Amino acid sequence: MYVADTIVAPATPPGSGAVAIVRLSGPRAIEIARSLWRPLRKGPTLAPRELRLGEVRDPKSGAPVDRALLAVFPAPRSLTGEDVAELQCHGGRYLVRRIVALAADAGARPAEPGEFTRRAYLNGRIDLTEAEAIADLIDARGDAALAQALAQLSGALAERVAGLRARLIALRARLEAEIDFSDEDLNLPSRAEFARAADALAADLRALIDTFRRGRIVRDGARAVIIGKPNAGKSSLLNLLLGSDRAIVTPIPGATRDVIEETVAIGPIPLVLADTAGLRAEADPVEKLGIERTRRAAAGADLTIAVFDSSRRWEPADDEVIALAARLPGLALLNKSDLPPMLTADELRARGLALPIMEFCALAGDGLGALRERLAAMVEELADSSNSGDGHVAITRERHRAALETALEALAAATKAANAGMPPEIVAVDIMAATDALDAITGAVTTEDVLDLIFREFCIGK
């Protein structure tokens, strides 16, 4: 399966801290750790999972290096399913490097990113959804993301997939029964039942696919794009929501050229705001490139915040903003409410703006509280709207979505073949393809390439 050599890496981030952990895993992990470490006091041999204070020494020169706690976790009841040893040393940059180097001198190989978790998967300690949940737990930026990662780590997604898989197996069993009685005529009522069960299963696969947006938003935050014509107050709005002068604000139109992304905490789910270049037709070449980026940011967003300058009469650029804002949910701000109104909500509506409109003043911050509340409510709604009775299980990765789509297509092909009266062996081929697709989610069936992609997300020592 893999070369089971012994690997070593710091399990704690680089930098200085009170404590750091150097982790070893593999057949020689315990032996190598013990060769570097000597207990401070005589006593019984170190028991599994016991923490004992000792001294780390350079085995070649005998020179003391640090005082550290050692714990050993013999296979298979360990993080990776292999022998594991953990040295809790002092958290110095040099110190950690030195201890890792000593372990390497003694025969351990520095670990690749995610290699410990990968071994845990390869040894059947966790499945791929649980491995991904560990990465999500570490990256979580809020309570909602934490809860989702913990549910996935407890196997919620794997269980849901297993339930769907069991129904595919049941469909296959129906076909097997037909194969066994193949000398009799095709049993039409049984085919109708097959199709009904397959359709119900397809609906549940679709429902799980539809949790992707919620899963992604909870994990990564919702993306809101701020659009408007030049000088409308988009950058002022970003700065106001962030509470810092992140973007340049000037009275000169066309100040923002590139997309500026920042995250704000407005509720349990973070909101990623993108300030963009103002939309207008007669732009210089640099602005044109900026406007291209605005359109791309809008295409990838979940929400739109359309900013209109109420102190200036309607201009054609406002129509462009209305057109771009028609694609997504969101809200419109009639900004600069401190100045005499030249553009009204009624006029914007008459021109086709469908988003709710709020009067706003980015200069003084009037309406900020209400805006934050509205945005938080919209994010919650986005995260819940696809919660089609699926409890809180959600898929979180494109990988999951693609696998479910493949399973759905294969199931549709099976239903079509069944309805067309094809022999059961032929229908079974599609059912098996659907099963394989589901198995790819948990990693029961996988390839090296897929594993490389998944574990590349991890850092060294995870």
Q: Please give the DSSP secondary-structure letter assigned to residue 366.
A: B
CA atoms within 13 A on the CB side of 239: 17
Give the shortest CB-251-to-ligand GTP separation in angstroms.
4
Among Mg ion, ligand GTP, none, what binds residue 253 when CB lies within 5 to 8 Å by partner kind?
ligand GTP
CB closer to ligand GTP, 47 vs 252:
252
Give the one residue of 26, 54, 91, 233 binding ligand GTP; rule: CB under 6 A: 233
Give the one residue of 43, 251, 300, 340 binding ligand GTP; rule: CB under 6 A: 251
Is 80 near Mg ion (CB under 5 A)?
A: no
Q: Are 232 and 335 in contact (CB under 8 A)?
A: yes
Q: Are 65 and 99 in contact (CB under 8 A)?
A: yes
Q: Are 229 and 315 in contact (CB under 8 A)?
A: yes
Is 152 near ligand GTP (CB under 6 A)?
A: no
Q: Are 84 and 73 in contact (CB under 8 A)?
A: yes
**x/- contact string, 329-368, with ligand GTP (CB under 6 A)?**
------xx-xx---------------------xxx-----
- Angle, alpha carbons 279-285-289 (nearest 5°): 55
Instruction: Report CA torsion sign: 341, 343, 347, 349.
Output: negative
Q: Please give the DSSP secondary-structure letter assigned to residue 361.
A: B
Query: Can you tell me the distance from the alpha carbon of 120 to that of 79, in angstroms, rounded to the nearest whole number?
Result: 6
CB closer to ligand GTP, 248 vs 459:
248
Structure token digits, residue 81: 């399913």
Give the shortest CB-366-to-ligand GTP separation in angstroms.
8
Query: Can you tell me the distance from the alpha carbon of 210 to that of 22, in angstroms, rounded to the nearest whole number?
Result: 41
Give the shortest CB-251-to-Mg ion separation in angstroms.
11
Q: Are 214 and 386 in contact (CB under 8 A)?
A: yes
CB closer to Mg ion, 162 vs 255:
255
Residues 110-120 as b or e (16 or more Cβ within 10 Å = b)? ebebbbbbbbb
Give the burial class of 251: count Cβ atoms within 10 A of its Cβ; 0-12 exposed, 13-18 middle, 19 or more buried: exposed
Binding part of the chain for Mg ion, among 10-18, 138-146, 247-255, 326-334 by CB under 5 A, reads 247-255
CA 61 remoteness from chain centre = 47
Instruction: Report CA torsion sign: 415, 413, 210, 121.
Output: positive
Is 306 near ligand GTP (CB under 6 A)?
A: no
Binding part of the chain for ligand GTP, among 199-207, 247-255, 385-393, 443-451 by CB under 6 A, reads 247-255
Is 231 near ligand GTP (CB under 6 A)?
A: yes
Q: Which residue is nearest to ligand GTP (CB)?
A: 278
Is 235 near Mg ion (CB under 5 A)?
A: yes
Is 276 near Mg ion (CB under 5 A)?
A: no
Which residue carries 């086709």 as its tokens?
352
CB closer to Mg ion, 182 vs 244:
244
The helix/strand count (H/E) of the chain reads as 16, 13
Is 256 near ligand GTP (CB under 6 A)?
A: yes
Is 242 near ligand GTP (CB under 6 A)?
A: no
| Chain residues 253-272 in contact with Mg ion, contact rule CB under 5 A | 255-256
Binding part of the chain for Mg ion, among 27-35, 48-56, 129-137, 252-260 by CB under 5 A, reads 252-260
Give the shortest CB-333-to-ligand GTP separation in angstroms.
9
Give the shortest CB-287-to-ligand GTP separation in angstroms.
9
| Residues near ligand GTP, by CB under 6 A | 228, 230-236, 249-251, 253-256, 277-278, 335-336, 338-339, 361-363
| Residues near Mg ion, by CB under 5 A | 234-235, 255-256
